[in-house]
Structure 1
Amino acid sequence: MNNKNKVLVIGLDGVTFDLILDWINENKLPFLNKLLKNGVHAELKSTIPMFTPTAWTSFSTGMNPGGHGITGFFKRKENSYDVTLSNMIKNQDQGKKIWNILSENEKKVIVMNIPLTYPPEKVNGFMISGMMTPTNSNNFTFPSSLKYEILNNINNYRINPLNVYEEGKEIDFISELSQLVEIRTKTALYLMNQIDWDFFMVVFNETDYIQHAFWKYIDMNHPQHDQEKSNKYVKELLSFYQRIDNKINEIVNCSGENTTIVIMSDHGFGSLYKFIHVNNWLLKMGLIKLKRNVITQTKYLLHRLQITPNNIYKILLKLNFGNIRLKMGKKKGRKMLEHFFLSFSDVDWKRTKAYSLGAMGQIFINVKGREPLGIVNKNEEYEELRNFIIHKLSNLSDPDTYMPVVEKIYKKEEIYSGSYYEKMPDIVFIPCHGYIGFEEFEFSSNSVFSSPKGISGTHRPNGILIMSGTNVKNGKKLSNSIKIEDVAPTILKLFNISIPDKMDGAVILEAFKNRQI
């Protein structure tokens, strides 16, 4: 066996110690228990917003979102209010990803299933793209010839799930996710044996998918909690995690000696009771104005009559057509929604002062000279408007409970820096437990608050980090200050490769026996 140092990273999307730590300590997840005893662990602070595309990009670049520019699945097109998909950065100005840096330093890399890596890029090794890869794409590997190897050696290889969670079809959903975990593991083991690699990374998104669907069974206070079903499906959830635990064991055992193991997630998880529809709130406050033409006013009438994307989706779920959304994909689905429902194309930008784009509570001011039809001057008017919005957000409460729904509010300068600072949201808020400021589509509901359907869990700030290896301390819990941006520079340090100045993260020195790694 080759004695060179290697690094293996296994991403478990959305995993939180709030769920798995008791199972680990009770030895119900024996391999993770072993890693904790023989290594270090910590809560890993996610990005703001705590969102899959944002967080995994901050991991790969070691930069805060202001450095790489990704704040969600969608972004505003240049010089337009039209919305387009965000794919992971390909522009070197936005920061090189860790696999780029390792490749340039002649390290062999295998990168597999990381969100927003479509289309795959050239690396010194293999890359298989992950979440946001179009279902029917033939261009999901580098080199392109690798796809034939994968399809010939891995039965039913696929990146995306075939079906969404639907009430009453829980076992089918678990079965589909379990198949994906098996496919992911078989592919990882196959690739590990093809080249003499230095860095290997695979992400399991299935942990995120199952938590979005099953969190109501964990939280006894959840409005959708059903104790009888909970008794059954919490066991199923544990069984699913035990499968994950076994697969991690298989992959680690295949990695060989002198391998530093990193198990991490991009964000944590918790209950979702209600969506906060930020654009509806801004519309209600008069900060968004709609066009007065017939088409827009007709859409607005439908909006007021509760004929909205959310309500249509709830009907589709009841009719067992929930998979339509999955099959159409985000891009095609969005185009269809824009034809029939209120969207940014219906906003009168010459009278609009603020808007929300993307999920997780992002608010942009319609700034003159920055936005195409901006009307707010970047001076006292800008600050007064931000302070007004922050004051109103601070007092926003759930009409059913009268409890506040916003935990923290940030101005952009408090949390962002870097090349894309100007493109960052002017205000970002983190909701209280049970809420999410969600706007995957601009006006998906006709109210400020709505109850979710087909989803009962959402993202929270603290993910997980577990590290184990020859020079890693044993059985130590690290400080609570470790951020997702810190992982990439730590990996580069393990390879004795210089850390780029653009990286915001710091080496996690407290994890190691010898700090002079």
Structure 2
Amino acid sequence: NKVGTSFYVTNLAPDLSAVRIARYSANFIPRNQAVVEDVDDINNNVGFWLPQPDFRIPERLSPGFNNFPDTELEAIYQDQVRTFVDYQTRVALRGISQHPDADLVLTYIEQPDGSGHQFLIADPRQATDFRNPNTIGAGQDKEKIQRYQQYLQTAYQAADRAVQGIIEAVGTDTKGRPNSNIIVVSDHGFAPFHTAVNLNNYLSNQGFDNKKVRAVTSGPAVNVYINLQGREPDGTVNREEYVTLQQQIVDALAKFVDTNPNYILGSGAELVFDKIYSRPVSDPNSSSFGLETNEFIGQDSGDVFALMKLGYNFDGTQNPVVQRLGDASSNSPFFSVPNFYGAHGYDPTLPEMSAIFYAAGPDIGRGTISQVRNIDIAPTILQLLGVDAAETVEGTAITLNP
């Protein structure tokens, strides 16, 4: 196999009094025997797998960068944005060139997702220096905000070049329409957030026993599981207590508020959670107790599922914790300053969470579609290919040639 790494010089003084060099992670493509010929083809004709933008660098989680100023860490990330998207594009173009008669080509471009997480400062409550809680509002670094806006533009431009490269590979007709049907879709939108939330600290403060209740968080979403007897290994909670605990969890999340005047924009208190759902319990004596589902609770979901409001996120808590300006000092704070800026995973009906859908090609007309669901993409592709969708395929084919 081929393993490679990259180096980036962030500072090289003419007299060599200051030299700073970043070495990226070593990368390779696993030699999966089912596609080993493709692995060799990529290694030999495109190159070893380049490192994708590493969030640990601008978030100062990666060792060895303590003496690098912010601007140099940002430059490293920008270099990775440009080089990795270019690499992803070249892998896709190599596949197209080697299989010109393929009915379907799928490719993934990592940006602008990564840059949205790192650089989406658009709220005065976001600390421009995540190590300094005073850098909100009037204390924000305006020059840094401008730099971050440019970095986001760089990410979108990189993704745009990737799409353009694929369009050029398939060619266009005299009207500029691609000779093949091309669909560009994202899976979510983005929103800035200003506060990292430690839910375990809050639940502990509310008196919940962590041997009976466990919170599993991801982004702004949480699944809270109850250690139900008969369902969980070594379950300790009986059915009667389950019903009580479930309602107590719902009540605790519903009353969780932020009262810091620096963050609630004038209101007396801001509710932290936007949506709260609980697993249905139709019959306490049923064999399906603790396993029932509904529109929002799946079989593997928590017994309570909740989404926070925009501005709050479970990810981003620093070690050591950096408490927010105006919060009372605490050894177990609920809120803190996060070490990155953009998030997704909120209520998908919010405008900020809207994804994109662009389509062009010989079987695609002109027009604007008001709403597209991600589950509609697969049946739309099947329709373009003339393939009947199986009964298990969710969603509805989009009318692309009105």
TM-score (norm 2): 0.69
Aligned to 2:224, which of 337, 344, 363?
A: 363
Deviation per residue, 1:51-80 (Å, 9 max, x gap):
xxxxxxxxxxxxxxxxxxxxxxxxxxxxxx
Aligned to 2:273, which of 380, 402, 406?
A: 406
The one-letter code of the counterpart of 1:179 is T
Q: What is the CA–CA distance in structure 2 between the aligned matches of 1:361 and 1:177, rounded to whole Å?
A: 30
The 1:410–1:259 alpha-carbon spacing in structure 2 relative to 1, beyond 3 Å, is farther
Deviation per residue, 1:289-329 (Å, 9 max, x gap):
4xxxxxxxxxxxxxxxxxxxxxxxxxxxxxxxxxxxxxxxx
Q: What is the CA–CA distance in structure 1 between the aligned matches of 2:247 and 2:40, rounded to whole Å?
A: 56
The one-letter code of the counterpart of 1:222 is Q
Q: Tell me if structure 2 keeps the 8 A contact 1:354–1:366.
A: yes
The one-letter code of the counterpart of 2:46 is I
Aligned to 1:153, which of 45, 48, 57?
A: 45
The 1:226–1:389 alpha-carbon spacing in structure 2 relative to 1, beyond 3 Å, is same
Q: What is the CA–CA distance in structure 2 between the aligned matches of 1:221 and 1:163, rounded to whole Å?
A: 22
Q: Tell me if structure 2 keeps the 8 A contact 1:135–1:159.
A: yes
Q: What is the CA–CA distance in structure 1 between the aligned matches of 2:44 and 2:168, rounded to whole Å?
A: 24
Aligned runs of 1:234-383 on 2, under 5 Å? 234-256=149-171, 258-289=179-210, 352-359=211-218, 360-378=221-239, 381-383=241-243
Aligned-pair distance for 1:235?
2.5
Aligned-pair distance for 1:405?
1.1
Partner of 2:343: 458
Aligned to 2:107, which of 176, 181, 202?
A: 202
Which one has more relative contact order, counting CA pairs under 8 Å at least 6 apart?
1
Q: What is the CA–CA distance in structure 1 between the aligned matches of 2:215 and 2:364, rounded to whole Å?
A: 43
Q: Tell me if structure 1 keeps the 8 A contact 2:217–2:314.
A: no
Partner of 2:137: none
Aligned-pair distance for 1:254?
1.4
Compare the two structures and name the one with the higher helix fraction: 1
Secondary structure, aligned partner of 1:228:
helix
Q: Tell me if structure 1 keeps the 8 A contact 2:273–2:306.
A: yes
Q: What is the CA–CA distance in structure 1 between the aligned matches of 2:208 and 2:28, rounded to whole Å?
A: 41
Partner of 1:491: 381
Q: What is the CA–CA distance in structure 2 between the aligned matches of 1:146 and 1:136, rounded to whole Å?
A: 13
Deviation per residue, 1:246-304 (Å, 9 max, x gap):
22111122135552222111221111211222223222223234xxxxxxxxxxxxxxx
Aligned-pair distance for 1:188?
1.0
Q: What is the CA–CA distance in structure 1 between the aligned matches of 2:47 and 2:124, rounded to whole Å?
A: 39
Aligned to 1:182, which of 76, 83, 86?
A: 86
The one-letter code of the counterpart of 2:312 is Y
Q: What is the CA–CA distance in structure 2 between the aligned matches of 1:457 and 1:163, rounded to whole Å?
A: 12
Q: Tell me if structure 1 keeps the 8 A contact 2:224–2:303.
A: yes
Q: What is the CA–CA distance in structure 2 between the aligned matches of 1:229 and 1:473, rounded to whole Å?
A: 42
Matched, 1:504 2:394: yes
Secondary structure, aligned partner of 1:268:
coil
Aligned to 1:415, which of 267, 284, 295?
A: 295
The 1:279–1:263 alpha-carbon spacing in structure 2 relative to 1, beyond 3 Å, is same
The 1:242–1:487 alpha-carbon spacing in structure 2 relative to 1, beyond 3 Å, is same
Q: What is the CA–CA distance in structure 2 between the aligned matches of 1:428 and 1:475, rounded to whole Å?
A: 38
Specify every segment of 5 or more residues in structure 1 that has no aligned partner in the other structure, as ranges: 1-133, 290-351
Matched, 1:467 2:359: yes
Percent identity over paired residues: 26
The 1:503–1:439 alpha-carbon spacing in structure 2 relative to 1, beyond 3 Å, is farther
Partner of 1:214: 119
The 1:382–1:163 alpha-carbon spacing in structure 2 relative to 1, beyond 3 Å, is closer
Q: Tell me if structure 2 keeps the 8 A contact 1:259–1:469.
A: yes
Q: Tell me if structure 2 keeps the 8 A contact 1:358–1:440.
A: no
The one-letter code of the counterpart of 1:368 is Q
Aligned to 2:314, which of 428, 433, 437?
A: 437
Q: Tell me if structure 1 keeps the 8 A contact 2:29–2:39.
A: no
Q: What is the CA–CA distance in structure 1 between the aligned matches of 2:341 and 2:32, rounded to whole Å?
A: 31
Specify every segment of 5 or more residues in structure 2 that has no aligned partner in the other structure, as ranges: 1-25, 59-69, 129-139, 172-177, 262-268, 280-292, 322-330
Q: Tell me if structure 2 keeps the 8 A contact 1:163–1:176.
A: no
Partner of 1:172: 76
The 1:475–1:227 alpha-carbon spacing in structure 2 relative to 1, beyond 3 Å, is farther
Q: What is the CA–CA distance in structure 1 between the aligned matches of 2:199 and 2:272, rounded to whole Å?
A: 12
Q: What is the CA–CA distance in structure 2 between the aligned matches of 1:355 and 1:407, rounded to whole Å?
A: 20
Q: What is the CA–CA distance in structure 2 between the aligned matches of 1:142 and 1:161, rounded to whole Å?
A: 28
Secondary structure, aligned partner of 1:180:
helix
The 1:163–1:287 alpha-carbon spacing in structure 2 relative to 1, beyond 3 Å, is closer
The 1:276–1:163 alpha-carbon spacing in structure 2 relative to 1, beyond 3 Å, is closer
Q: What is the CA–CA distance in structure 1 between the aligned matches of 2:315 and 2:224, rounded to whole Å?
A: 11
Q: CA RMSD in A?
A: 2.9
The one-letter code of the counterpart of 1:507 is A
Secondary structure, aligned partner of 1:361:
strand
TM-score (norm 1): 0.54
The one-letter code of the counterpart of 1:465 is F
Aligned-pair distance for 1:234?
1.4
Aligned-pair distance for 1:199?
0.9
Matched, 1:396 2:288: no
Secondary structure, aligned partner of 2:112:
helix
The one-letter code of the counterpart of 2:238 is N
Q: Tell me if structure 1 keeps the 8 A contact 2:28–2:49.
A: no
Work out the number of aligned pairs and report it. Answer: 308
Matched, 1:448 2:334: yes
